[in-house]
Amino acid sequence: MITEECALAVSADRMWKVACSGEALQKACATFIDSVVEEGDGGPGSITTMTLSAAAAADAGGNLMRSRLVVRDHAARVLRNEVLEGGKVSRQLKSQVTDVKLEAAGEGACVATFKLEYEKLDDSGALAPEDQAGLVGAYLGMLKAVEAYLIANPAEYA
């Protein structure tokens, strides 16, 4: 398991609103997400498919990211997703589950705790350090892109 924390200069409420909406996520991350399609009622079992921009797809090693929502806990601000399809690193994995928890950290700020649990196809233990860094960097990059969008657009999702 990999765990990382990321301080963000926007409120947990605003980050949560974007994290829970495919449309908002695509808008906030328009430079690397071309489209987001959500199947289901938004509850557990719903499938989200993100189509990445050409530049993001080149970095990720694939243009689609698909995940199934496992938990959406509004009170605790926790999202848990099972990754169904991802980039080049995900192709090494039998399973991949992500957790993101947003916690208030003063007025207009929050901390995102990101956890990644995975099992490799060959059961050989941990991913190579550069592959771990690439996966974590992609997820944290998305959080930082949302943060930048919300700072630049203070009335959005307020």
For the beta sheet containing 64-73, the strands, ordered from the edge strand earlier in sequence to the opposite edge, are: 2-8, 110-120, 93-104, 78-85, 64-73, 47-52, 33-39
Residue 82 lies in a domain: yes
CB neighbourhood size of 27 (10 A): 17
Q: What is the structure's pLDDT at 89? A: 65
Residue 157 lies in a domain: no
Question: How many domains, the chain?
Answer: 1
Instruction: Compute the distance between CA of residue 7 and CA of residue 29 in angstroms, rounded to an integer.
Output: 18
Residues in Cβ contact with 19 at an 8 Å cutoff, skipping those fewer than 6 apart: 25, 79, 100, 102, 146
pLDDT tens for the chain, 158 residues: list them: 899 999 999 999 999 999 999 999 999 999 989 999 999 998 999 999 999 988 888 777 778 899 999 999 999 999 999 999 876 667 778 888 999 999 999 999 999 999 999 988 887 888 888 888 888 888 898 999 999 999 999 999 99
pTM of the model: 0.88
In the block, tokens 């609103």 appear at 17
**144: domain range?**
2-152
